[in-house]
Structures are given as C-alpha cells and as structure tokens.
Amino acid sequence: MNPWNNPDETDQQLEDDHRAPDARARRRMRLAARASEWNPHYLAYCRAHGHTPEEQRDLDREAFPGGINCGFMLWMSEQRRLFNEAHPEAFYDRHIIADHDAWSAWLSRH
C-alpha cells in the first residue's frame, strides 16, 4: 500500500511517524485537505483573489476556457518564484522546494 494515500491514518499515527520532517509535512497537508474537498494550496489561491473556491472555479472557467486550472498554475508559479527570492534556503535548487512547511505557510499568507 502506498503510505501517502492511507485513508486510515490518524493524527496520532502522524505524530508517531519518524520519517523525515518534509514527509511528515506532506502527510499533514493531506490530512488537512481531507477535512475539505479543496486542496489547501488552491484555497490559498482563492483567498488571494477574494473568492470562494466555487466562485474562483467559475471565474477561471470563463478566463481560461479549455484549461480551468491555468490561473491556479500561473499563480503557483509566481508564488514559488517570490518564495524562492524571499527564502532561497528553503529550496534544494531553484526549482525543488525542500521546506514544505515554510512553503505552505507562505501560501497561506499570500
């Protein structure tokens, strides 16, 4: 079984997990996302634009026919660029984020 998709995982199992911190961070984000039907990074995108997820989806469907996630992907790319400028220590290299907790916190503030 893929450990990243274990639907029976509990918060206590997560706390007891002795994997690398970035693996635990990804698992925490997955558990948090289960509480909502929306990806937490997509929710940050919606908040940044002042819309609910449903409103943003409908707006993006009009703005980007044939690729409704294009606005989200463009925003994520720009946020990653800004995050890299502000926190280069959080990256393995220019493209690969090493500190996913810091990345998620960055997105939640922007």
CB distance 74 to 43 below 8 Å: no
Query: Which residues fall within 8 angstroms of residue 59, CB to CB, at 6 or more apart?
Result: 49, 51, 71
pLDDT at 10: 53
Please give the span between the terminal C-alpha atoms of the chain, in angstroms, as a whole number: 35
Confidence band of 13 (pLDDT split at 50, 70, 90): low
Q: If you average pLDDT over residues 49-76, what whole number do you get?
A: 92
- Per the listing, tokens 């960055």 go with 106
Confidence band of 49 (pLDDT split at 50, 70, 90): very high
pLDDT at 61: 93
Helix, coil or strand: residue 72: helix
pTM: 0.65
Q: What tokens were used for 88?
A: 């280069």
On the question of pLDDT at 108 being above 60, the answer is yes
